């Protein structure tokens, strides 16, 4: 697509574009939290239920039941916020969907089936406590775990495609020679989907741990609390080191297929040999070149490799990247702390400092998730599909997008608040009341 | 069969199932908003139990249809979302609040104020969602200014308004209320609650008759306000009008003679016939009066791969759905739940 002065002017002046982008970012940024919990929570739920089946210990069963109720609430919010996003693809980006809908349709269709299986087995799992044998009930949760991972994988392949579009030819604004499979399995797919799924497990693990670390700080140190906390920590701690490796892999893929995004992430303005690694006010000479190419004199393209009209807002991208990586290493530290204590003492630390760290780690993990999301999306700007279509050419021509955005923010604020209120009511209910309330 | 016909058929099936199953879930809320507003605890428990295990799965049919539409017929999706953004945003608001209100209400038992609040939200949103989705369907039937490339050139705020849109809105709500009451009669009977069965039976008879009358009026309106659809109806979709009328009468007869399964199947058949009748009558137009299937369809390679993807997905989906409904919706499982 040629860069005409007209599109540049439009890009600068279009408040509507900003409103549409803000709305997409906001609703997806909301949905992504619930989507991650939808991937991760079934695992902790099923581990707890498995432990009950193996040991016959009631407190494991209570954990599984309680989490299944929280999961029901979170899944509902995830399902409806995901519905909003699927409509918004067309409502906000008709230019993109009208042109490329067929190219990225396959993963979305398959995701539809995965989501179907999640919803079906969620119904069976939630309402099947009394109807299925304990073993059959446990198995009825397995498809939720598998389908959760599958739907995350399929959806993220579509996002990976936006970062590395392939599998089609564009002739006069229409796609021909479309290969949906090649589009789905683009070079960004494997690292990005892995990065996302591992992130989902980390976010879930640390959020669960944070909830029960909070309980421990308030003096609740029952078996129930300790077990719940341990499950969360094990999940978060197991994936934190993996994420460091996967994140590095992801960054290398970005450096290859989206050098400008990479430059924005690392804050590399000028193309140079021996690019420095910049962390806040510090700069390690040659560090970026060394990390990326194993050679501290290698050339890394900077933002100046492309005209200004093709650069993302680099300050946001760089900040997002630092936040994500910084928190990632913080979480790794907590994982090591937990692992060390387990190795030396066969138990998790019981200091208040450790619990405070966990309480912070939950929201921090969510923040890292959002920051990573900002990096990949803002870092791709001004393109909606890297190098193929600009965001300005995809956006709806409908007026009043800003007003809709304001309304959407209002609605989601209500949604978020009430979700928290309901979850708190759930958490405060005495555990014995759980069984009776499950029917109906 | 060509891939695009297969996918259109799948979409029509998806739309039909969303209406027949998801419509009944909305209908439960419509009843809570109207007649059952001061409903007894038993009444609301019946609605909640009926919807609980299945509503999430039923809701996915909508997402499924949307996703297949944008993948297989991208310009149609782009054009429709542009032309219908007002009713679609309002329907979405309804869908969002129906879903969360139902989940929230089920989990705040004991908190009277919270329960009452989410009960009201649930009732209102359950009515708003089909109202605006029905309006969108009616708007499509009466035609939209969407050209063959999927560009909308009508008025962004009012371009969707038409007599059919207004009719569609009210008709959809009536259909949902009918489906819900026909199914709930069956479930109340299986639970052995005589008083509740009678109450739902009366409601089902009333709304069943109402749907029959409205449908007849709707066909009259189609002749005036949706000429393309009317042509298709005369040409090939007319047998479905017969199916619809027969199912509607069978359902009413089943309700009258207290044959609950027949009544439920008849109600479902009525709605299924309406959805298929609309789809067949409108073919080959995706968006009357200009955008055809041929103009909007994705390249054949895409459609073929999608068709195989759908087949593979159905191999997993169908047994799972059968399991879900056999666990919670067969006569035996309904009776067992009571014991």
- How large is the average pLDDT for residues B278-304? 88
**B313 to A122: CB separation less than 8 angstroms, yes or no:** no
Q: Classify B39 as helix, strand or coil.
A: coil
Contact B156 A131 (CB under 8 A): no
* The two structure tokens encoding residue B216: 């007849």
In this predicted structure, the answer to whether residue B36 has a pLDDT above a threshold of 60 is no
For residues A437 and A129, is the Cβ–Cβ distance under 8 A? Answer: no
**Which residue from A73, A95, A429 is facing B103, i.e. has the nearest CB?**
A73
Q: Quick check: B38 and B123 in contact, CB under 8 A? A: no
Of B80, B104, B299, the CB nearest to A73: B104
Q: Provide the β-strand partners of residue A331.
A: none
Residue A279's DSSP bridge partners are: A282
Strand partners, A169: A176
Contact A86 B63 (CB under 8 A): yes
What is the distance between the alpha carbons of residues B203 and B184, in angstroms, rounded to a whole number? 10
Residue in B with minimal Cα distance to A81: B96
- Picking from A66, A76, A139 by the largest number of B CB atoms within 10 A of its own CB, the best residue to mutate is A76
Provide mean pLDDT across the span B231-257: 93
Which chain B positions have a beta carbon within 8 Å of A396's beta carbon? 82, 85
Tally C-beta pairs within 8 A across A and B.
Answer: 223
- Place A349 in a pLDDT band, splitting at 50, 70 and 90: confident
Does the structure show a pLDDT above 50 at A186? yes
Of A99, A112, A120, the CB nearest to B63: A112
Contact A178 B45 (CB under 8 A): no
User: How many angstroms separate the CA atoms of A285 and A301, rounded?
Assistant: 15
Q: Tokens for B287? A: 């968006």
- Of A159-168, A349-358, B204-213, the range with the highest mean pLDDT is B204-213
Note whether ipTM > 0.90 here. no
Contact criterion met (CB below 8 Å) for B78 and A101: yes
Specify whether the CB–CB gap between B275 and B16 falls below 8 A.
Answer: yes
Mean pLDDT over each residue of chain B, to the nearest integer:
90
Check whether A433 has a pLDDT greater than 70.
Answer: no
Of residues A76, A117, A404, nearest to B100 (C-beta): A76
Higher-pLDDT residue of B204 and A311 is B204
Structure-model confidence comparison of residues A8 and A182, the more confident one: A182
| Yes or no, beta carbons of A429 and B309 under 8 Å apart | no
Residue A10 has pLDDT above 60, yes or no: no
Residues of chain B positioned with their CB less than 8 A from the CB of A102: 71-72, 74, 298-299, 302
DSSP A132: S
**Cis omega (within 30 of 0) for bond into A170:** no
Chain A residues with beta carbon closer than 8 angstroms to that of B72: 102, 105
Q: pLDDT tens for residues A136-152? A: 999 999 999 999 999 99
**Residue B37 pLDDT:** 59
Residue A214 vs residue A429, higher pLDDT? A214
- The whole-number pLDDT of residue A232 equals 93
Name, in order, each residue with C-beta under 8 angstroms of B139's C-beta and a sequence gap of 6 or more.
B83, B84, B87, B160, B161, B162, B164, B165, B168
Do B301 and A180 make contact, defined as CB atoms within 8 angstroms?
yes
Q: Quick check: B299 and A102 CB within 8 A?
A: yes
Question: A99-113, B108-122, B185-199: which has the minimum mean pLDDT?
Answer: B108-122
Q: Which of A207, A164, A156 is nearest to A183 (CA)?
A: A164
Position A2 confidence tier, pLDDT thresholds 50, 70, 90: very low
CA dist A374 and A353 (Å) reads: 31
Q: Where are the domains of chain B?
A: 27-298
User: B293: which residues sit within 8 A by CB, 6+ positions away?
Assistant: B4, B8, B73, B283, B284, B285, B286
pLDDT-based confidence at residue A437 (cuts at 50, 70, 90): very low
Q: Are B302 and A102 in contact (CB under 8 A)?
A: yes
Show residues of chain A in contact with B110, CB under 8 Å: 429, 433
pLDDT tier, A366 (very low <50, low <70, confident <90, very high otherwise): very high
A388 has pLDDT over 90: no
Buried b (16+ CB within 10 A) or exposed e, A216-229: beeeeeeebbbbbb
Say which of B309, B333, B337 has its CB closest to residue A106.
Answer: B309
Q: Are strands A383-385 and B285-287 parallel, antiparallel or unpaired?
A: unpaired
Pairwise CA distance, residues B280 & B243, whole Å: 13
CB contact under 8 A, B96 and A415: yes
The distance from CA B201 to its chain's CA centroid, rounded to whole angstroms, is 21
Residue spans per domain, chain A: 5-258+312-437
Question: Quick one: pLDDT at residue B198?
Answer: 92
pLDDT category of residue B157 using cuts at 50, 70 and 90: confident
A289 neighbors A297 (Cβ within 8 angstroms): yes
Are A105 and B66 an interchain contact pair (Cβ–Cβ within 8 Å)?
no
Q: Tell me the shortest Cα–Cα distance from B308 to chain A, in angstroms.
A: 10
Question: Is A94–B313 a contact, with Cβ atoms under 8 angstroms apart?
Answer: no
A126 vs A141: CA distance, rounded Å? 9
pLDDT higher than 60, residue A1: no
Residue numbers in A near B64 (CB within 8 A): 112, 116
Q: Do B96 and A112 touch (CB under 8 A)?
A: no
Nearest to B71 among A72, A79, A105 (CB): A105
Provide CB contacts within 8 A for B180, sequence distance 6+: B23, B24, B25, B26, B27, B28, B30, B31, B47
3-state DSSP assignment of residue A8: helix
Q: Are residues A418 and B52, on separate chains, in Cβ contact within 8 Å?
A: no
pLDDT at A329 over 80: yes
How far apart are alpha carbons A306 and A283 in whole angstroms? 23
Of A101, A127, A398, the CB nearest to B70: A101
pLDDT over threshold 70, residue A5: no
What's the average model confidence in pLDDT over B244-251?
95
Residue from A104, A167, A418 to probe the interface with B (highest B Cβ count within 10 Å):
A418
**B320, A116: Cβ pair inside 8 Å?**
yes
CA distance A160 to chain B (A): 17
Residue A431, pLDDT score? 63
Give the range with max mean pLDDT: A222-226, A241-245, A293-297.
Answer: A241-245
Residue B111: predicted pLDDT: 79
Confidence of residue B82 (pLDDT cuts 50, 70, 90): confident
Contact residues, chain B, for A175 at CB < 8 Å? 299
The residue-averaged pLDDT of B141-159 equals 86
Question: Closest Cα of chain A to B319: distance in Å?
Answer: 10
Q: Is B52 in contact with A425 (Cβ distance < 8 A)? A: no
pLDDT of the residue at B117? 87
Which of A73, A86, A92, A101 to probe by mutation at the B interface, max B CB count within 10 Å?
Answer: A101
């Amino acid at each position: 697509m040629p860069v005409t002065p007209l599109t540049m002017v439009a890009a600068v002046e279009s408040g509507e574009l900003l409103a549409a982008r803000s709305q997409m970012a906001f609703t997806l940024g909301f949905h992504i939290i619930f989507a991650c919990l939808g991937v991760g929570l079934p695992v902790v739920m099923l581990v707890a239920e498995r432990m009950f089946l193996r040991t016959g210990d009631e407190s494991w069963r209570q954990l599984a039941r309680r989490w299944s109720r929280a999961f029901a609430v979170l899944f509902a919010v995830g399902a409806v916020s995901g519905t909003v996003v699927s409509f918004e693809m067309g409502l906000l980006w008709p230019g993109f969907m009208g042109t490329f809908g067929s190219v990225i349709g396959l993963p979305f269709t398959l995701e539809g089936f995965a989501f179907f299986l999640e919803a079906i087995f969620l119904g069976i799992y939630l309402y099947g406590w009394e109807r299925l044998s304990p073993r059959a009930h446990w198995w009825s949760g397995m498809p939720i775990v598998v389908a959760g991972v599958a739907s995350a994988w399929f959806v993220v392949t579509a996002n990976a495609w936006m970062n590395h579009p392939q599998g089609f030819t564009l002739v006069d604004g229409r796609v021909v020679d479309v290969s949906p499979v090649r589009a789905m399995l683009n070079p960004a797919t494997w690292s990005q989907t892995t990065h996302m799924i591992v992130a989902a497990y980390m976010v879930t693990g640390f959020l669960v741990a944070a909830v029960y670390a909070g309980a421990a700080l308030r003096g609740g140190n029952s078996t129930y609390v300790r077990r719940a906390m341990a499950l969360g920590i094990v999940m978060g701690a197991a994936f934190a080191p993996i994420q460091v490796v996967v994140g590095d892999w992801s960054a290398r893929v970005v450096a290859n297929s989206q050098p400008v995004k990479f430059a924005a992430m690392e804050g590399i303005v000028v193309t140079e040999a021996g690019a420095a690694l910049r962390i806040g006010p510090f700069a390690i000479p040659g560090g970026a070149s060394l990390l990326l190419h194993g050679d501290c004199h290698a050339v890394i393209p900077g933002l100046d490799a492309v005209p200004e009209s093709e650069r993302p807002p680099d300050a946001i991208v760089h900040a997002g990247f630092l936040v994500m990586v910084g928190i990632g290493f913080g979480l790794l530290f907590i994982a090591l702390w937990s692992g060390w204590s387990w190795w030396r003492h066969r138990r998790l630390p019981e200091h208040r400092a450790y619990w405070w760290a966990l309480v912070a780690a939950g929201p921090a993990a969510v923040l890292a998730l959002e920051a990573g999301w900002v990096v990949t999306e803002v870092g791709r700007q001004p393109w909606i599909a890297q190098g193929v279509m600009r965001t300005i050419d995809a956006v709806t021509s409908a007026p009043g997008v800003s007003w809709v955005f304001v309304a959407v923010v209002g609605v989601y604020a209500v949604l978020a608040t009430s979700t928290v209120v309901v979850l708190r009511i759930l958490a405060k209910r005495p555990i014995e009341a759980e069984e009776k309330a499950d029917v109906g | 069969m060509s891939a695009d016909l297969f996918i259109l058929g799948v979409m029509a099936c998806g739309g039909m199932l969303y209406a027949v199953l998801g419509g009944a879930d909305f209908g439960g809320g419509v009843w809570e908003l109207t007649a059952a507003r001061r409903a007894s605890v038993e009444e609301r428990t019946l609605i909640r139990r009926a919807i609980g295990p299945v509503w999430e799965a039923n809701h996915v049919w909508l997402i499924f249809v949307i996703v297949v539409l944008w993948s297989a017929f991208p310009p149609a999706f782009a054009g429709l979302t542009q032309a219908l953004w007002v009713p679609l945003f309002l329907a979405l608001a309804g869908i969002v609040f129906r879903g969360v209100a139902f989940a929230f209400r089920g989990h705040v038992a004991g908190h009277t104020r919270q329960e009452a609040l989410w009960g009201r939200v649930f009732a209102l949103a359950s009515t708003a969602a089909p109202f605006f989705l029905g309006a969108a369907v009616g708007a499509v039937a009466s035609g939209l200014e969407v050209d063959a490339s999927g560009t909308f050139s009508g008025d962004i705020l009012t371009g969707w308004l038409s007599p059919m849109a207004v009719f569609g809105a009210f008709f959809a709500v009536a259909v949902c209320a009918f489906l819900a009451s026909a199914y709930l009669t069956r479930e109340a009977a299986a639970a052995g609650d005589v008083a509740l069965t009678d109450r739902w039976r009366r409601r089902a008879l009333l709304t069943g008759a109402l749907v029959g009358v409205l449908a007849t009026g709707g066909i009259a309106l189609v002749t005036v306000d949706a000429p393309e659809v009317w042509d298709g109806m005369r040409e090939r979709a007319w047998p479905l009008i017969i199916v619809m009328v027969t199912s509607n009468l069978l359902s009413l007869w089943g309700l009258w003679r207290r044959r609950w399964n027949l009544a439920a199947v008849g109600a479902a058949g009525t709605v299924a016939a309406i959805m298929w009748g609309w789809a067949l009558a409108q073919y080959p137009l995706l968006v009357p009066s200009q955008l055809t299937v041929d103009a909007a369809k994705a390249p054949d390679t895409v459609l073929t791969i999608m068709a195989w993807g759908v087949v593979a997905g159905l191999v997993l989906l169908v047994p799972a759905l059968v399991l879900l409904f056999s666990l919670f919706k067969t006569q035996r499982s309904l009776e067992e739940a009571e014991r």
